[in-house]
Structure 1
Amino acid sequence: MDKLLPIALSLALVACNSPVNTDKGVFFAGEIVNPTSEYVVLYKGSSALDSAKLDENNRFSFQLDKVDDGLYHFNHNPEQQYVYLEKGDSVWIRLNTLYFDESLVFSGTNEELNNFLLEIFLEDEEVEQLMYSDLFQLEIDDFSAKVEDLRKEKLEELEELNKESKLTDTAFEIAKASINYTFYKFKEVYPFKHRGTLKEQELHEFPKSFYAYRDGIDYNNKNLIYLRPYYDFMKSHLGNLSYMTCSNSCGKENGIAHNQLHFNQHKLALIDSLVGEKELRDNLFRNVAFNYLLREHDVDSNRVFINEFQRISGNNRHIEEIQRLYEGISNIQPNSPVPNIEVISMSDSLISLPSLSKNKKAVFYFWSGTDKNHYESIFSRVKELKSEKPEYEYIGINFKTEPNNWKTIVNKFEFDAHSQFRTDDYHKLTETFILYPMNKCVITNDALIVDAFSNIYWNNH
């Protein structure tokens, strides 16, 4: 608290000099220590409303003439966080990108609510750790009691905040939903986490009262679409319903998740039947499509899935992105040619990936200089593989790293310069090779793909 007081006082002094708002306008500004981008972008939902460039003091400001009360989010690449704004607000923030969320402080109008929402966001990780360390192993009644105690404790804090700050109905609704859906999500995943934690074979039978909160679920609330606890709950809830529905009606046992196509068809049908709000429907459909396509790479199954997806959600706002993912996976099946992407060598010359993999067995792996732990682990694994499987040539493709920094890292680890390359077009690389997860590698033979979805830590080739 002592450390926060000088920050709060400085923000309050600056806020005193903020422009006077009309009843309908909003002033949103702040200071970013150790900026990672020149800009801050303000969003309402998925739409960018405006961008502001940092000045010489790393400060930014937005003056919006007219806004709807509700949840917004601001992006300072690569991080983002949400902010609640109402007509007439003057809101200031200060943060240090080295500890983005932890250092964020709001001041000005609605500062109590915004700091409260941030507190819930930060506490979610602590609560999740508590779930995994202690609570998921509890039996049903004890687990329900513990979760309900935690939920009521946060609701009491919200009631106190409401008494002091007199929140609007919309603000109170969003704050309450942030609490409720955080804890409802844990009840949705409990059956599976409990079974996994105790290494049990079967799921428990659950009394109807365990899911009593489901009677109050709002599947069509526009104010909550981009509230993270609400959206995370929806994903877990739909996964739980899909699993149980399929187990009960399809003649399957608890192993239905092995048939990912069948399981995800249930998810599509449930979203279609339960969710009417267009933007939420589109986002949830997209989540199902990406989760399925990134995990299942069988051409025939994917074709069945994408046809079903287009039938149910053909007007999805994400349809082009999903179609590109589907086509990208289809283009890197076994015996397909290595995609003709040009990369940059250590001597700054361009060379194509087919040329690099011609007349040899090769393994392409991927890394970024922004994640030291990841690339150090990858490099260590590559050295192991060179000893275990010397018949392959191991080719590193770097992205999102400043060229001089990339060369410094490569030289530090004493890699052969002829085996290291980088790209400036991360977007194209990602779409072409479907870079998920980041431990993936692509195995080739004479410029033809053997396995585009291998993992560098597996020993399956």
Structure 2
Amino acid sequence: MDKVLPIALVLGLIGCNSPVSDSKGVFFAGEIVNPTSEYVVLYKGSEAVDSAKLDDTNRFSFQLDAVDDGLYHFNHSPEQQYVYLEKGDSVWIRLNTLYFDESLVFSGTNEELNNFLLEIFLEDEEVEQLMYSDLFELEIDEFSEKVESLRKEKIQDLEDLNSEAELSDIAYEIAKASINYTFYRFKEVYPFKHKGKLKEEQLHKLPPTFYAYRSGIDYNNRNLIYLRPYYDFMKSHLGNLSYMTCSKSCGKSNGTAHNQLHFNQHKLAMIDSLVGEKELRDNLFRNVAFDYLLREHDADSNRIFIDEFQRFSGNNMHIEEIQRLYKGISNIQPNSPVPDIKLVSIHDSLVSLPALSKNKKVVFYFWSGTNKNHYENIFNRVNELKLEKPEYEYIGISFRTDASNWKAIVNKFEFDAHSQFMAEDFHQLTESLILYPMNKCVITNDALIVDAFSNIYWNNF
């Protein structure tokens, strides 16, 4: 998509409103077309630096007295994107939320770098599609050659940019890492994706040079902690190392980890042995915990995992969030009481989940008005189930949907009003029923849990 920007408007904004830069302060401002929130929030890592409210013309501005040079991100709910800031910068953005990333344009100081990072971000999706559609099927030598050619092409673009814009050391490091770690990740997942694409029984034996870049990996770079390509690489890399370590010491060699508890124990140990930087460690440990707990729901295995997690990362900055997830899963094991969650009826009255499931068999399913394809498919599936399994009552729970939009969708599909409800508290619903994946459903019998982790498309109830 072409990025259409009224250049005259941006130049006018810069000329009329940009403050005089000092050696330490930063001015960050912009205009948001079709805003989806009243605020823009600026983050450095996981910490909010400041927030700014949009004015009557949908413009915002931050005047920061002092900043650390590096990568930040700004959030305009529900979207977010990078911005690189250095002392003395005046940076402007303009975007349209209908095409958030595609319409975003930076101007002002460091505009070249910020637009370059955005370009890499947008191109990553195309490269990802290329990998899955064509390149993962290639044999080792041809795959390595293709990946290296693509990587060098982007590195040359960066060198050309650097010769014109004279990037700072930190800016150059971040831009180069954004390129390198994108392509290094593809090499980390290649053995597993290649095996799957070609339906082979064994992983290929790789030449020693295939992972030559690993000698230069920095496991503790604070400048890169929240750079998406670096973080995604770390997840794939540590997963690869964990599997290979397990293959050698535990006798697994077919490219599939059948015992998720065992495999994730390896991942915890691998992070502990390689990553020293506290914030990166915490984020990676959190990723392992969520990935495991959302996939595996056995109470005994989960207890073993949590004990192991506490041993490696008991002071994790995400520990309360992880404990809530663990507790939520523990509370919805088979034969547990249905959680006391309040829902809003089509007539705006409150009703509890236990009351809706008393003295009958119920399948609770979930949908959001923000995803039309998903909810239409869900509704079609529910209509099929009503014919196939009429002994159940099917109750839909909508979340993250405006009340008027929710009622309009319900009326459009001519649902029985008694079968549709809206979550009063999305966070309570999420933590109590663990809304993952999107197609999940909860099966109950007389207000007791039968299966809280079923899928609306399965035929197991």
TM-score by length of 1: 0.99
Amino acid at match of 2:448: L
1:252 CA displacement: 2.4
1:256 CA displacement: 4.9
1:147 CA displacement: 0.3
Superposed, 1:198-347 pairs within 5 Å as: 198-254=198-254, 256-347=256-347
- Which moved further from structure 2: 180-189 or 422-431? 422-431
CA contact (8 A) 1:12 1:108 kept: no
The residue number in structure 2 matching 1:422 is 422
Q: Distance in 2 between matches of 1:18 and 1:213?
A: 43
Q: Secondary structure at the match of 2:410?
A: helix
The residue number in structure 2 matching 1:157 is 157
The residue number in structure 2 matching 1:456 is 456
CA contact (8 A) 2:3 2:104 kept: no
Superposed, 1:162-181 pairs within 5 Å as: 162-181=162-181
The residue number in structure 2 matching 1:7 is 6
Q: Distance in 2 between matches of 1:438 and 1:133?
A: 25
Amino acid at match of 2:38: E
- What whole-Å deviation, never above 9, does each CA across 1:212-241 have from its counterpart, x for those lacking one? 000000000000000000000000001111
CA contact (8 A) 2:3 2:102 kept: no
Q: Distance in 2 between matches of 1:222 and 1:2?
A: 34
1:10 CA displacement: 1.8
Q: Distance in 2 between matches of 1:303 and 1:432?
A: 18
Q: Secondary structure at the match of 1:117?
A: helix
1:402 CA displacement: 1.4
- What whole-Å deviation, never above 9, does each CA across 1:39-95 have from its counterpart, x for those lacking one? 000000000011101111111000000001000000000000010000000000000
Q: Distance in 1 between matches of 2:142 and 2:363?
A: 50
Evaluate the alpha carbon distance shift between residue 428 and residue 456 of structure 1 in structure 2; reply closer, same or farther with a 3 A threshold: same
TM-score by length of 2: 0.99
Superposed, 1:80-91 pairs within 5 Å as: 80-91=80-91
Q: Distance in 2 between matches of 1:44 and 1:2?
A: 30
CA contact (8 A) 2:202 2:255 kept: no
The residue number in structure 2 matching 1:44 is 44
The residue number in structure 1 matching 2:358 is 358
Consecutive unaligned residues in structure 2, runs of 5 or more: none
Q: Distance in 2 between matches of 1:250 and 1:300?
A: 22
- Which moved further from structure 2: 122-131 or 13-22? 13-22
Alignment of 1:34 with 2:65, yes or no, is no
The residue number in structure 1 matching 2:96 is 96
Q: Distance in 1 between matches of 2:332 and 2:65?
A: 49
The residue number in structure 2 matching 1:138 is 138
CA contact (8 A) 1:442 1:451 kept: yes
CA contact (8 A) 1:8 1:105 kept: no
Q: Distance in 1 between matches of 2:421 and 2:2?
A: 48
Q: Distance in 2 between matches of 1:253 and 1:31?
A: 54
Give aligned pairs, total. Answer: 460
Alignment of 1:367 with 2:367, yes or no, is yes
Q: Secondary structure at the match of 1:315?
A: coil
1:11 CA displacement: 1.2
CA contact (8 A) 1:442 1:453 kept: yes
Q: Secondary structure at the match of 2:183?
A: helix
1:9 CA displacement: 3.1
CA contact (8 A) 2:70 2:170 kept: yes
Shift >4 Å, 4+ stretches: none
- What whole-Å deviation, never above 9, does each CA across 1:362-420 have from its counterpart, x for those lacking one? 00011111111111111111101101100000001111111111111100000000001
1:133 CA displacement: 1.2
Amino acid at match of 1:242: S
Amino acid at match of 1:8: I
CA contact (8 A) 2:342 2:424 kept: no
CA contact (8 A) 1:238 1:267 kept: yes
Q: Distance in 1 between matches of 2:9 and 2:108?
A: 11
Amino acid at match of 2:137: Q
Consecutive unaligned residues in structure 1, runs of 5 or more: none
- Which moved further from structure 2: 367-376 or 78-87? 367-376
Q: Distance in 1 between matches of 2:3 and 2:301?
A: 56
CA contact (8 A) 1:247 1:256 kept: no
1:2 CA displacement: 8.3
RMSD of aligned residue pairs (Cα, Å) = 1.0
Q: Secondary structure at the match of 1:37?
A: coil
1:345 CA displacement: 0.6
